Amino acid sequence: MSPQFASRMDGVHPSFIREILKVTADPAIISFAGGLPNPALFPVEEMAEAAATVLREQGRTALQYSTTEGDPELRSLIAKRYAEKKGFTVDPEDILITTGSQQCLDMIGKVLIERGAAVAIERPGYLGAIQAFSFFGPDWRTVELVDDGPVLEDLARVLRDRPRFFYAVPNFQNPSGVTYSAEKRQAVAELLAGSGVIFVEDDPYGELRFLGQDQQPLFTRLPGQALLLGTFSKIAAPGFRIGWVVAPQRIREKLVVAKQAADLHTSTVIQRVLVHYLKTHDIDAHIARIRENYGRQRQVMVSAIERHFPAEVSCTRPEGGMFLWARLPEGCSSMELFDLAIARKVAFVPGDPFYVDGTGGNTLRLNFSNSSEERIEDGIGRLGLCLKEYLARRGGKA
């Protein structure tokens, strides 16, 4: 029997990164491919204590079904953190707890995208968002990113088409590592405020800054017109799959319906464990440790690139997050380079999947958070040799 698949599956492909991670299962390969936090920094003992306490003291309620919106205490703690760390007020009622921020993207697609409707995204854009939104058949509009954020002329042109929303990652963007400057944030907010287009601001890396000055979310400049996505995956435990979305009531109510249809609610016990951890341990000290380690790893990678990469290859210099972005000379193929790299036991993510318009073949993403400083140095050295070999074959300088 041959099953008849829904037509929505036609334009959606397996996660390119997940497929690459199968190739990198060989422990001999130094992988800069996955977007993984460093497991050496997970608060394992603290979470074990929190889980034991919750099950001992709250077991019969923690193991029960719960409300779709999420644990009230967790929502209040998230709102309190916005007030203390970012200086703006969020009503806990406006927060919806989700099964990772990836579920936010799926629900936003269900609620806001109709087949053929225009949707705006950065170029390059986050692959998880591209995959999630593609299920709903959007007509993509792209906004080019440069070192300080989006090209404003691109954004103005795209907004004239009245897309359902503009999805962006203004802090340490995945995949590029780019952070919007204060000037660009103000300009973007002004363009959006006059357009009526919803702004979907994804902020998974915002607390992972190790250079420069913190920037306020654009969400604060677009009252009633923006969604703000967050997650504990990068600052606590990705395996918990706890994310959230802050949304105005008229949108939040629709998101709640979409979540009810998907999974009823996010794990009750995991939410309770996280609440206990946040109340009894210093997450800011934990985040500071992550920042310190990632900052060193980032600097090792940047320094190694300066020594080993050919001058023709340009790279971003991220102020935080987990990634940097490299661009080969025009006409080069990062897919071809990938084959050479695997032969030398080093891996990265070719840039093609981050572009919805089929371009970006000369770009690649490097992750620095999930490798030791020694492996970063070794791996970048190997990749530098691959680049020189590849450019020499093409007749370019090495």
Domains of the chain, earliest start first: 7-42+285-393 (3.90.1150.10), 64-280 (3.40.640.10)
CA distance 323 to 392: 27
Helix boundaries (H) for 24-163: 44-62, 72-81, 100-112, 127-134, 152-159
Provide the pLDDT confidence category of residue 397 given band limits of 50, 70 and 90. Answer: very low
Q: Residue 395's pLDDT is what?
A: 76
| Backbone Cα Rg of the chain | 21
- The H or E element containing residue 287 is helix 283-308
Q: Residue 287's pLDDT is what?
A: 98
pLDDT digits (tens, 9 = 90+) for 212-234: 999 999 999 999 999 999 999 99
Kindly report the CA angle at 209 between 328 and 293, in degrees rounded to 5? 85
Q: Residue 33's pLDDT is what?
A: 93
Which residue in the block uniquely carries the two structure tokens 């409707």? 117
Provide the pLDDT confidence category of residue 5 given band limits of 50, 70 and 90. Answer: confident
pLDDT digits (tens, 9 = 90+) for 306-324: 999 999 999 999 999 999 9
CA distance 396 to 113: 45
pLDDT digits (tens, 9 = 90+) for 349-387: 999 999 999 899 999 999 999 999 999 999 999 999 999
Strands (E), the chain: 30-31, 95-99, 118-123, 139-146, 149-150, 165-168, 198-202, 226-231, 242-246, 314-315, 323-327, 346-347, 349-350, 363-367
Provide the pLDDT confidence category of residue 13 given band limits of 50, 70 and 90. Answer: low
Instruction: Supply 369's token pair.
Output: 């958070």
Instruction: Supply 354's token pair.
Output: 């981050």
Non-local (6+) Cβ contacts of 73 within 8 A are 275
User: Mean pLDDT across the stretch 74-103?
Assistant: 97
User: Mean pLDDT across the stretch 44-55?
Assistant: 98
User: Mean pLDDT across the stretch 268-277?
Assistant: 98
Q: Residue 90's pLDDT is what?
A: 97
Neighbouring C-beta atoms of residue 286, cutoff 10 Å: 17
